[in-house]
Structure 1
Amino acid sequence: MTATMTPVPHATGARPVSVARGYRFELVKLISQWRIRLVILACWIAPALFVAAVSQQGSLPVDTLFGRWMHATGWAGPLVVLGFAGTWALPLLTSLVAGDVFASEDRLGTWRHLLVAVRSPRRIFAAKALASLTVILLLVAGLVCSSAVGGVVAVGNQPLVGLDGHLLSAGDAAGTVFLAWACTLAPTLALAAIGLVGSVTLGRSPMGLLLPALVALTMQLAQMLPLPVAVRLALPGYAFISWNGLFTSTAQLGPLLIGIVVSLVWAAVATALAYLLFLRRDFTNRSDDGSPRRSLVVGVLPLAVLLAVTVGVVAGATEATGSGIEQTKVERSVATAFAHLYRRQTEELNRPAVTEEQLKATAACTKGNVSDGAEGPGNDWRCVVSWHLPDVAATGTAIYQLDVTPDGRYVADGDGPKEVNGYFLVRTPIGDAPNPLWQFDGNVELLGTTKG
């Protein structure tokens, strides 16, 4: 037998409190909590201090996307913070806010007072959901604004090198950085909606508070596995990764748009489930924290079905098969990045200018002992890049060792010749400078065509 919310009697002619008044009340309740205030303060200050401090260090987080460019431009810092936020900060923040917005009433035993004051369970849910959303947006705004200000003040408003080696002007870099942060709002909303489900169904249990973080951790572990590309794109957290595609000369929008749509669908479905579960709880019984069986049937199973449906839809709509990492895609990506970065090295060395069309760079890649039809992630990719210079008969070659992750990102490590990519510094007319061809980050579009 399922318990339902008992109607709250009220005086004849009394009207329920409006959503706007309830929203203001819930927002004040949230912001008045010392831990929320502390987190808001940290989000608006800590990223700026972190970016400024790291940008002044001799060693940079080169294992982090765009970390190797933190000395060169202030717009690399916000992207480093974004990578960390998508992995750890945003899941924890949604847990702290959305995962506790209903459970706090269970701990304090104030449901009956709130129901009598507002006189509308539906408006209570709307007010709490909107208040938690507002606080989450405030936290995200603090992360992006603080990291951007810290980077620009510490390093400067300089151009940014994209993932395929092309140079974004300072204005383009700023716009793309803020767009990348905006794209991560979709998976953040999905985690927040899952937090609402946990907060409603699990009540005083700490598992409700931890649910968004656990879901995010599970999705991160899944992204590290060699999953089929359709399954990878159907996970609601993929937009935390697919913003990388904005930083190529031809934006890789397919995976990003799919990730955003999937995240928004998950946010809508999870919010609707939380709403239905909220209306069916018996809040007149202070010992009732929600039925675990009802939580499983109404909360978990629909989301599992949604995941299966999204996998099928993505697979059918994109005709994506396998890992999406194929030999021709890797070769095209490496050759494109090398050509862009070779131009940058040419400018540093004050050599005659050359264009990508003149270089005609190509790459021949193998994976382990597989030289034809290689595919899949791994650290055993090896690419030989060839290019031509105007009025030079000989063909230039350079070797790279690649570590390709399951999500398509790779790090190309130069393996000679020394004067091209075998050393991390090059001698320029004004002194030693970082060699852009020594190591570089790249991205293979999982849904990209294999045709040249």
Structure 2
Amino acid sequence: MTATLDQTPVAAEPAPARPVAVSRAYRFELVKLFSPWRVRLLVLACLLGPGVAVFGIKQQSTLPSDTLFGRWAHASGWAGPLVTLGFAGTWALPLLTSLVAGDVFAAEDRLGTWRHLLVAVRSPRRIFAAKALASVTVILLLVVALAASGVAGGLLAVGNKTLIGLDGHPLSGGDAAGKVLLAWACVVAPTLALAAIGLLGSVALGRSPMGLLLPVVAALAMQLAQMLPLPVPVRLALPGYAFIAWNGLFTDPQQLSPLLIGIAVSLVWAVVATVLAYLLFLRRDFTNLTVDNAGRRVLTLGVAPLAALFAVTVGVVAAASGTTGSGITQEKLQSSLAVEFAHLYRLQEQELHRPPVTEAQLHTTAACNKGDGLAAPDGPGNDWRCTVTWHVPGVAITGSAVYQLDVTANGRYIADGDGPKEVNGYFLLHTPDGDAPNPLWQFDGNVDLLPSH
């Protein structure tokens, strides 16, 4: 008699679970980011706010002359998006990066959903990539919304009219459009740097509100540093400098060196801060709902590496640029003022319907001193006084005009006319077509902080 063989089937071992693709996790994170009313309200505010503000400026009799290009807001539709850009770089973009990137990881800590997310995605690396990409996507969308709203509001309120550059030369509508869009594109780099700092704070500080505020605090600190009389290498080594370096696009020739350095520094900060956040995230103990030793982690994987990066960047910029001072000299200021006065003088002559002259025919020069000659003629200050001289062909007398200059540490200056009244001493110009703003009364200029080669 033969034994009966056991025919019971053997259960196969289950295949190991595969991590979810980054693309699927990215789409999931985008849905999560747009689910709260807060982010949708931010998008709506960015789409409507700048356009409404530009329309409001058009209806006012006064101009935001303390903002770059604000004094041209009634003359050109391209001034509106530049006024918006100045405000965005100072306040809006740091706040937006805080609300998005600064909260993308901390939200999971507050809700206690890390274990559920790990079970769903099954890869901390892919979770980090999806969250970082989703937050950057939302931030870029907000930047595009701000730019589009400012441009649309300016063109609808004022129109596609000539814009006056920071050296007084006129920019046609098409030329101004290209420079405005390029200026908005340039602030993407420092925005990404702030977003990376937000990711680092969100990972390192967890549910602490300081993680949410870190990009705003960092932006305010960098703005304060830009207001101080710091050496040029220190100024350019901060990623926030790219928020103001776009000014150089509106001069002829363009002041591109500070802008390119600012963009490169911002991108380096963005990469380093993102890598630090990634390394810190991979060391996270997801079985613990609390964030332990946050202060030590922030110091060792946050503050210390970024401080070292700042020190190295200062050295590299100093060696590459060959400058260690403020970058504002008497010679640069005199040259910039003379060139801008010549451009604006031609504009004034055109408004008065006088025979046209060229800059070469005017032979414009400027002589500047600081503190009535008692202070060293360099560096920022509101005690610069300049005398501009020029000569109109066919006129025996040489013209002269006086300006008081307020020069900021970042190279921007405001020239305030101090007579004679017929040239620059009054804000209105009596023309054959009626009263018009006097282009020589007050105007903005910009000095290149780096040596010209």
Classify the TM-score, shorter chain: over 0.9
- The DSSP-based 3-state class of the residue aligned with 1:394 is coil
- 1:291 maps to 294
Query: Is residue 305 of structure 2 the alignment partner of residue 302 of structure 1?
Result: yes
Query: Is residue 334 of structure 2 the alignment partner of residue 331 of structure 1?
Result: yes
- The DSSP-based 3-state class of the residue aligned with 2:354 is coil
Can you list the C-alpha shifts for 1:392-423, whole angstroms capped at 9, x where unaligned? 22110000000000001000000000000000
Query: Is residue 23 of structure 2 the alignment partner of residue 38 of structure 1?
Result: no
Q: Counterparts of 1:22-101 in structure 2 under 5 Å?
A: 22-101=25-104
Query: Is residue 20 of structure 2 the alignment partner of residue 17 of structure 1?
Result: yes
Asked whether the equivalents of residues 202 and 290 of structure 1 are also in contact (C-alpha less than 8 Å), the reply is no
Residue 13 of structure 1 deviates from its aligned partner by: 2.9
Can you list the C-alpha shifts for 1:105-143, whole angstroms capped at 9, x where unaligned? 000000000001000100000000000000000000000
Can you list the C-alpha shifts for 1:219-266, whole angstroms capped at 9, x where unaligned? 000111000011001111100011000000110001000000000000
Q: Distance in 1 between matches of 2:291 and 2:224?
A: 34
- The DSSP-based 3-state class of the residue aligned with 1:369 is helix
Q: Distance in 2 between matches of 1:354 and 1:372?
A: 36
- 1:115 maps to 118
Q: How does the TM-score come out when normalised to structure 2?
A: 0.96
Q: Distance in 2 between matches of 1:182 and 1:172?
A: 15
Q: Distance in 1 between matches of 2:402 and 2:410?
A: 23
Q: Which amino acid aligns with 1:322?
A: G
- The DSSP-based 3-state class of the residue aligned with 1:177 is helix
Q: Which moved more, 1:365-374 or 1:341-350?
A: 365-374
Query: Is residue 145 of structure 2 the alignment partner of residue 142 of structure 1?
Result: yes
Q: Distance in 2 between matches of 1:277 and 1:37?
A: 30
State which of 211, 232, 235 in structure 2 corresponds to 1:232: 235
Asked whether the equivalents of residues 204 and 289 of structure 1 are also in contact (C-alpha less than 8 Å), the reply is no
Q: Distance in 1 between matches of 2:424 and 2:144?
A: 39
- 2:284 maps to 281
In structure 2, the CA distance between the partners of 1:11 and 1:82, relative to structure 1 (3 Å rule), is farther
Count, aligned residues: 441
Asked whether the equivalents of residues 236 and 258 of structure 2 are also in contact (C-alpha less than 8 Å), the reply is yes
Query: Is residue 424 of structure 2 the alignment partner of residue 424 of structure 1?
Result: no
- The DSSP-based 3-state class of the residue aligned with 1:151 is helix
Asked whether the equivalents of residues 166 and 445 of structure 2 are also in contact (C-alpha less than 8 Å), the reply is yes
Q: Distance in 1 between matches of 2:98 and 2:202?
A: 9
Asked whether the equivalents of residues 87 and 220 of structure 1 are also in contact (C-alpha less than 8 Å), the reply is yes
Query: Is residue 155 of structure 2 the alignment partner of residue 152 of structure 1?
Result: yes
Q: Distance in 2 between matches of 1:124 and 1:323?
A: 45
- 1:168 maps to 171
Asked whether the equivalents of residues 323 and 451 of structure 2 are also in contact (C-alpha less than 8 Å), the reply is no
Asked whether the equivalents of residues 201 and 290 of structure 1 are also in contact (C-alpha less than 8 Å), the reply is no
Q: Distance in 1 between matches of 2:43 and 2:307?
A: 33
- The DSSP-based 3-state class of the residue aligned with 2:355 is coil
- 1:200 maps to 203
Q: Which amino acid aligns with 2:286?
A: F
Q: Which amino acid aligns with 1:120?
A: S
Q: Counterparts of 1:311-330 in structure 2 under 5 Å?
A: 311-330=314-333
Q: Distance in 2 between matches of 1:357 and 1:291?
A: 64
In structure 2, the CA distance between the partners of 1:11 and 1:410, relative to structure 1 (3 Å rule), is farther
In structure 2, the CA distance between the partners of 1:448 and 1:52, relative to structure 1 (3 Å rule), is farther
Q: Distance in 2 between matches of 1:209 and 1:319?
A: 38
Q: Which moved more, 1:287-296 or 1:184-193?
A: 287-296
Asked whether the equivalents of residues 336 and 447 of structure 2 are also in contact (C-alpha less than 8 Å), the reply is yes
Q: How does the TM-score come out when normalised to structure 1?
A: 0.96
State which of 160, 184, 188 in structure 1 corresponds to 2:187: 184
State which of 376, 381, 386 in structure 2 corresponds to 1:378: 381
Can you list the C-alpha shifts for 1:310-355, whole angstroms capped at 9, x where unaligned? 0000000001121000000000000010000000000000000001
Query: Over the residues paired in the alignment, what is the CA RMSD in angstroms?
Result: 1.2
Q: Distance in 2 between matches of 1:11 and 1:101?
A: 34
Asked whether the equivalents of residues 242 and 259 of structure 1 are also in contact (C-alpha less than 8 Å), the reply is yes
- Unaligned 5+ segments in structure 2 are 1-12
Structure showing greater radius of gyration is: 2
- The DSSP-based 3-state class of the residue aligned with 1:335 is helix
Query: Is residue 440 of structure 2 the alignment partner of residue 437 of structure 1?
Result: yes
Q: Distance in 2 between matches of 1:428 and 1:248?
A: 28
- Unaligned 5+ segments in structure 1 are 1-9
Can you list the C-alpha shifts for 1:280-321, whole angstroms capped at 9, x where unaligned? 010111123563212211111000000000000000000112
In structure 2, the CA distance between the partners of 1:300 and 1:408, relative to structure 1 (3 Å rule), is same
Residue 370 of structure 1 deviates from its aligned partner by: 2.7
User: What's the % identity of the aligned pairs?
Assistant: 73
- The DSSP-based 3-state class of the residue aligned with 2:166 is coil
- The DSSP-based 3-state class of the residue aligned with 2:373 is coil
In structure 2, the CA distance between the partners of 1:133 and 1:11, relative to structure 1 (3 Å rule), is farther
Q: Which moved more, 1:372-381 or 1:249-258?
A: 372-381
Q: Which amino acid aligns with 2:316?
A: V
Residue 373 of structure 1 deviates from its aligned partner by: 5.9
Q: Which moved more, 1:48-57 or 1:409-418?
A: 48-57
Q: Distance in 2 between matches of 1:258 and 1:71?
A: 33
Can you list the C-alpha shifts for 1:347-394, whole angstroms capped at 9, x where unaligned? 000000001011110000000133796101000000000001112221
Q: Counterparts of 1:392-431 in structure 2 under 5 Å?
A: 392-431=395-434
Residue 209 of structure 1 deviates from its aligned partner by: 0.1
